[in-house]
Amino acid sequence: MGTPPQVQTVILDTGSSDTYLDARDAPSCESSGPFSCRGGTFDPSASSSYHVTIPDGFMTAFGDGSSASGDFATDVIQIGDVAISNVQFGLASNVNSTTGYAVGLMGLGYSLNEASDVQYANMPEVLRDAGVINSRLYSIFLNDIGMPSVPQ
């Protein structure tokens, strides 16, 4: 994410629609305890292409009591060798993880479920609109424990 790129780890979440990253200066990300940020943190001041679009406009909460909030912004996102400019995401300057360490999230759900008053193109739609994928549809294969990952 960003220019130059800052490596991030995110959880793919089929029940959420927003992509968000933990901010480098979030209080919980500055600690090393059990609820610290371990998926990488994003430093907006280190990205020349970062732009805040809705200050304090991002806020999401989860069934386990965890929450994240901060600004909505745009920046370059790169997945593998594909880089796309002006992708909207949340930058969580307030991170509250109740079940373990904090990590960013890439929501794969429909835009109707976004943590925003204004709908925007989320990652599946961004990838489709950029011609990287043909459809916002996807599937996930979870193999059985002990099953070879490649059929023989």
Q: Where are the domains of the chain?
A: 10-129
CATH architecture of 10-129: Beta Barrel (2.40)
Inter-residue contact 106 to 115 (CB < 8 Å): no
Nearest to 15 by CA among 99, 122, 117, 106: 106
Q: pTM of this prediction?
A: 0.84
Alpha helix (H) residue ranges in 6-98: none
pLDDT along the chain (152 residues), means of 10: 93 89 86 74 95 94 88 94 94 84 86 84 91 85 68 54
pLDDT at residue 151, rounded to an integer: 55
Composition of the chain by helix, strand, coil, percent to 5: 10, 35, 55
